[in-house]
Amino acid sequence: MFEYLNQTEIIQTIVTIGSMALLAVGLFGLLTQKHFIKIFISIATMEVAVFLFFLGNLFHKDLTAPILTKAYLDVSKMNDPIPHAMVLTAIVIGMAVLALGVSFAIEYYKLTGNTQVDKMNKMRH
Amino acid sequence: MIGLIILASFVGIVVVAFSAIVQNTLADAIILFMGVGLGSVILFFVFGAPDVALTEAVIGSGISSLIFLMALKHLKSQP
Amino acid sequence: MNLKRTLQTSTLSGFTLSAILIVTFLNILLQNIPSSVQRVGDELLKLNTTDGVSNAVTTVVVFFRGFDTLGEIAVLFIASLGIGLMLNENKKCEIKAESNFMLKTASKLLFPIIVVYGIYVMVYGHLSPGGGFQGGVIIASAVMLLLISHKNFELSHSVVVILETFAGISYVFIGLIGLLILDVFLANFLPHDVSSMGLLLSGGIIPIIYIVVGIKVGSEMSMIAQDLIKRENDV
C-alpha cells in the first residue's frame, strides 16, 4: 500500500482534495462565527490552504530543492524556484495585513464595547 | 512512505483547523491555530521548499500568534 | 402541504447551486498535470548557473524580480505606519505583576544566542536556505522575548527610526547606482564570477541587498510588537 500512495497522480489528488477541504473549513468559519477574532483566524487558515495548493501540485519524488553546490550542478532535477518566491512574498504581506486588521478591531472594541458582528449594524455608536 | 506522511498531515491539519473554529474560549482557538501552522511547515518541507518552510515557521508561530494574543489581552480589559 | 412549508425554496436552490459548483470545480482541478510539461523555471535555472548565486530562490527574489521586493517592503512600511498611528503613545500599558526569577534569567541567557542565529541566517542567505526576511523576523522574535518578560525594557524610538530610514534609502540608492553605471535599474555592477559560486563573497550586490532588507524588516517587526504590547488605545 505504501507503493500505491507514492505515485504522482495519487499525491496530486490528495493535495487538491485536502487543501480544498481546508478552504471549506475556513469558509465555514468565516460565515457562521460571531466573534471578530475568530473571523480573522478563519481568514488566516484560508491563506494557508491556498499556499499548500500552490506548492503541492508541483511535487515529484525525484526533484530536490533548488540549491546549487559545486558537487551538484544538474539543473534538470531541481524544483521550480518561481512559485517559492511568490509564496514567500504572499506570506509576509498576509501577516502585515492581518496585523493592521487586528489593530482596527481593537480600536473598534474600545470605542463601542461589543465584539459580536451581529450588532455592528448601527451607523453611530 | 512520502504519500503516507502527506495524507496523515492533511488529515491532521483539517481536524485541528475545524476544532480551532468551534471552540468557546478564545485562548484555545489561538493555540490550536498554531497547530495548523506547524502542520503546514511539515508539508512545505516534504514538498521540497526549505525557504518557504523556514519563513512560515517563524512568521506563523512567532509574529502571527503574538498579534492574536495581544488582541486577546486588550479585549479582556473593560472599556 | 407541510413539505412545502419546511423546505424553503431558497435553501433548496442554494444547495443545488453549491453542489453544481463543487462538482464542476473538482472536475477541473482533478485533472493531473503530466510531469513532462515545460516549466517556466527551466530557463531561469539555466540562467542561474552563470549569473546568480547558489540559492536559486534568493536569485529570483533579489535579482530577477527585485522590483517586486521593493513593492513588498513598501507594503510592510504602510502596515507598520497604520499600526503606529492607531495606538496612542501618551498612555502606557502598565504590567502589574513582576516576572518569575527563572523567566528573567532564561530570557537573558537566550537573547544573544537567538540574535547570533538570526544574523547567521541573514548573512548566509545566498548559500543555504534563509535570507533577509527570515533573519530579520528571527531577530525581531528575540526582541519580543525580552519585551514580554521584563517590565521596563523598551527600544528607543530614534534608534529604530534611523535604522529603518537608512535601510530603505540604501535599497533605492543601490538601484540608482546600477542605473548610472549599466543603464538598468538594480543591475549587478560588482564583479560576480562563476568560479566563486559557493563562497561567501560572491554574487555581486545580491548579499548586500538582502542584508539591507533584513535590517529593515527586523526593525519594523520590533516596532510593531512594541506598539501592540506597550501602548494603550486612543480613547
| CB < 8 Å from C in window 23-52 of A | none
Q: Where are the domains of chain A?
A: 2-119
**Contact between A109 and B10 using a beta-carbon 8 Å cutoff:** no
The pLDDT of residue C35 is 67
Percent residues over pLDDT 90 in chain C? 42
The pLDDT of residue C235 is 47
The pLDDT of residue C7 is 62
Q: How many domains does chain C have?
A: 1
Name the minimum distance, in Å, from the CA of C230 to any CA of chain B. 10
Cα dist from A24 to A28, B8, C22, C125, whole Å: 6, 19, 11, 36
Q: What is the DSSP track for chain A?
A: -HHHHTSHHHHHHHHHHHHHHHHHHHHHHHHH--BHHHHHHHHHHHHHHHHHHHHHTT--TT-B-SB--SS---GGGB--HHHHHHHHHHHHHHHHHHHHHHHHHHHHHHHH---BGGGTT-S--
Mean pLDDT across C135-155: 90
Q: What integer best gives the mean pLDDT of chain C?
A: 85
Q: How confident is the model at residue B22 (pLDDT cuts 50, 70, 90)?
A: very high
- Residue A83 in this model has a pLDDT that exceeds 60: yes
What is the distance between the terminal CA atoms of chain C, rounded to a whole angstrom?
Answer: 57
How many CB atoms sit inside 10 A of residue B77's CB?
10
The pLDDT of residue C47 is 83
The pLDDT of residue A58 is 85
- Residue C148 in this model has a pLDDT that exceeds 90: no
Mean pLDDT across C97-124: 92
Task: Note the pLDDT tens digit of each residue in B25-49.
Answer: 999 999 999 999 999 999 999 999 9
Contact indicator for C179, C187 with CB cutoff of 8 Å: yes
Q: Where are the domains of chain B?
A: 2-76
Task: Note the pLDDT tens digit of each residue in A60-80.
Answer: 888 888 888 877 777 778 888
- Residue C67 in this model has a pLDDT that exceeds 70: yes
**Contact between C144 and B67 using a beta-carbon 8 Å cutoff:** no
Q: What integer best gives the mean pLDDT of chain B?
A: 91
Name the minimum distance, in Å, from the CA of C130 to any CA of chain B. 6
The pLDDT of residue C90 is 66
Residue type, A8: T
**Contact between B49 and A55 using a beta-carbon 8 Å cutoff:** yes
- Residue B78 in this model has a pLDDT that exceeds 70: no
The pLDDT of residue A94 is 94
**Contact between A21 and B14 using a beta-carbon 8 Å cutoff:** yes
Residue of C nearest to A77 (CA): C42
Alpha-carbon span A36 to A27, nearest angstrom: 14
The pLDDT of residue A125 is 54
Name the minimum distance, in Å, from the CA of C133 to any CA of chain B. 8
Mean pLDDT across A28-41: 90
The pLDDT of residue A68 is 84
Name the minimum distance, in Å, from the CA of A5 to any CA of chain B. 5
- CATH 1.10.287.3510 assigned to domain A2-119? The reply is yes
Which of B51, B63, B66 minimises the CB distance to C57? Answer: B51
**Contact between C133 and B50 using a beta-carbon 8 Å cutoff:** no
Q: What is the pTM of this model?
A: 0.89
Task: Note the pLDDT tens digit of each residue in C91-103.
Answer: 666 667 777 889 9
Contacting residues of B for C121, CB less than 8 Å apart: 54
- Residue C234 in this model has a pLDDT that exceeds 80: no
Residue of B51, B73, B74 to mutate, testing the C interface (most C Cβ within 10 Å of its Cβ): B51
Domain that holds residue C173: 56-88+97-232
ipTM: 0.92
What is the distance between the terminal CA atoms of chain A, rounded to a whole angstrom?
Answer: 61
Please indicate whether residue C82 or residue B77 has the higher confidence score (pLDDT).
C82
- Residue C6 in this model has a pLDDT that exceeds 60: no
Contact indicator for C79, A92 with CB cutoff of 8 Å: no
The pLDDT of residue C165 is 93
Contacting residues of A for B7, CB less than 8 Å apart: 5, 14
